[in-house]
């Protein structure tokens, strides 16, 4: 399997200042695999749901090449449920409910058929669970990308540091980068974090774009200024899915290609914001993606000749 994604497959109830939706399909791995499915023909999903999760949606995922041998379906149990409320700026939100349900004792099992994996995306989960997936792979993947959040820095920092030491690319937001490094300057924070293990760091700044760092370079991708943001839930996971999906498709992990992958991820994330849940990712065409990427090119393209 070229690409494997680990993370939640879940239900979300979402409230924005403008609308409200109950129990839409959500979860990090849902957004990651659907976003990546626009770039790779097949991927493997490692996750867990209860038997309340609609088979119809799983069939839709199957039709997009998302293999579910690694998906555990727990009889008589309920899927992970998250409920949140966005503030007026849609950049910040409060969590109202977190029902772990099947996630409480999730023990990820990597199927035999997934063990030769080139690209591994560890979506936001308890660091110990992310680690258990790495440990089951007999051959280290070409590239391991890990997403996490401040919650794990607060409650499981030791586990988090262990798994961060084993990965290639870390994706976190600006506040989390500051917290993890205990540095306000993102440049200084990036330098510290790159010494913790990862060779690359992506700092996600929501509507303010994303920064990609390695030890010697920095690249900035803007977010597309949108007319309207309907629901940003899943935007970060969609970004990650587009990023790793593009890398897995092109089989090129140079810094130059990661820059392209960051633009692709940003473009995919902008679509997710346009509707509630992952709906936009399901209907998206290749032409729409190309057109959106071209908008990013136009947005940042300039030619300048400095004079002596």
User: Which residues sit at the interface with a second copy, rule CB under 8 A?
Assistant: 88-89, 184-188, 205, 208-209, 211, 217-222, 225-229, 256, 259-260, 263-264, 286, 289-290, 293-294, 297-300, 302-304, 306-308
Return the number of the residue (16 or 47) whose C-beta is nearest a second copy: 16
CB of 132 to a second copy, least distance (A): 35
Return the number of the residue (57 or 219) whose C-beta is nearest a second copy: 219
Q: Residue written as tokens 């969590």?
A: 95
Return the number of the residue (39 or 152) whose C-beta is nearest a second copy: 39
Pairing of strands 10-15, 80-86: parallel
Return the number of the residue (112 or 227) whose C-beta is nearest a second copy: 227
How far apart CA 38 and CA 59 sit, in angstroms, is: 17
The residues pairing with 45 across neighbouring beta strands, listed in sequence order, are: 5
CA atoms within 13 A on the CB side of 198: 29
CB of 285 to a second copy, least distance (A): 11
CB of 227 to a second copy, least distance (A): 5
CB of 253 to a second copy, least distance (A): 15
CB of 266 to a second copy, least distance (A): 11
Return the number of the residue (48 or 186) whose C-beta is nearest a second copy: 186
């Amino acid at each position: 399997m070229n690409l494997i994604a680990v993370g939640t497959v879940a239900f979300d109830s979402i409230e924005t200042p403008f609308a409200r939706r109950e129990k839409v399909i959500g979860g990090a791995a849902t957004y990651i695999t659907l976003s990546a499915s626009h770039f790779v023909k097949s991927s493997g999903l490692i996750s867990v749901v209860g038997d309340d999760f609609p088979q119809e949606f799983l069939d839709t995922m199957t039709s997009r090449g998302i293999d579910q041998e690694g998906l555990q379906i727990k009889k008589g149990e309920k899927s992970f449920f998250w409920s949140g409320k966005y503030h007026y700026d849609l950049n910040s939100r409060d969590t109202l409910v977190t029902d772990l349900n099947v996630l409480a004792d999730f023990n990820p099992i990597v199927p035999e058929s997934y063990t030769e994996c080139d690209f591994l995306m560890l979506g936001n989960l308890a660091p110990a669970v992310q680690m258990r997936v790495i440990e089951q792979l007999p051959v280290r993947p070409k590239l391991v990308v890990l997403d996490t959040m401040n919650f794990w820095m607060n409650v499981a920092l030791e586990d988090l540091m262990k798994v961060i030491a084993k990965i290639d690319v870390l994706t976190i937001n600006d506040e989390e980068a500051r917290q993890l490094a205990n540095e306000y300057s993102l440049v200084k924070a990036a330098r510290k974090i790159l010494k913790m293990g990862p060779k690359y760091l992506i700092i996600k700044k929501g509507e303010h774009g994303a920064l990609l760092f390695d030890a010697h370079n920095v690249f900035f991708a803007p977010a597309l200024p949108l007319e309207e943001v309907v629901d940003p839930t899943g935007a970060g996971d969609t970004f990650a899915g587009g990023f790793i999906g593009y890398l897995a498709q092109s089989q090129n992990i140079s810094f130059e290609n990661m820059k392209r992958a960051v633009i692709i991820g940003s473009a995919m994330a902008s679509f997710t914001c346009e509707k509630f849940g992952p709906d936009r990712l399901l209907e998206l065409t290749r032409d729409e993606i190309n057109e959106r990427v071209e908008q990013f090119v136009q947005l940042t393209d300039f030619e300048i000749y400095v004079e002596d």
